[in-house]
A = this chain, B = another copy of it.
């Protein structure tokens, strides 16, 4: 099996993360993974949803959207259909849940961080790129809160990144582009922490079921990819990186 641009089966596409991409957001990043490009921004809001009032704990929530011409065929805006598609809602919930797993909500205090992931260009792997990029925007916003004195210590407990793996023509490959994704027999999204633990495993047979052995091999490969992504996050975050995991975790 040959991949675009001579990429190896176990290789990521070229990844860059540009920090502070937006002027007004408390944190922001433009993540590029091959031809996939996602703007991630973090907004701090000084209140929490009703179920967290008076608990002293904060909240992280995410929204995700495709620009109409991020895709080969123009995608109709969701406001035009009047509601979010199931796919969008599933991705939003995944992003929010994933990021929440590495935040100490007591340190954050009664605040909500909104993560907005807007896809400029979609060539596969937008949801995993959104998670990896949102981590950087979130770290930037949280560092700002700590610097401003509103939060006593960095609430990030660990790094977090995500990648896809899959079986295409019975070959195991890392970081599927759109073309590969549409031919995949199995598609799996994995979210892991800097210490190598699992946060989300979502494996789906598109066509034919898969074995326990294939699952194991896919998780191994995902682990390698996530390690590389976290290395990039660390470099991009500079000083902020060293503060991740230093808060007094409850």
Contact = CB atoms under 8 A, between A and B. Distances in A.
Which of A65, A84, A116, A205: most chain B CB closer than 10 A?
A205
A121 B24 contact: yes
Contacts of A84: 79, 83, 86
* Contact-residue bracket for chain A: 35 or more
How many copies make up the complex? 6
A68 B41 contact: yes
Interface stretch (A208-216, A230-238, A240-248): A208-216
Contacts of A168: none
Nearest to A82: B82
A71 B204 CA distance: 29
A118 B87 CA distance: 22
Given A77-B79, A101-B205, A72 B24 contact: yes
A5 interface: no
Interface of A: 22-25, 28, 35, 39, 41, 43, 45, 63, 65, 67-72, 74, 77-80, 82-87, 89-90, 92-93, 97, 101, 114, 116, 118, 120-121, 123, 158, 188, 192-193, 195, 197-205, 207-212, 215, 219
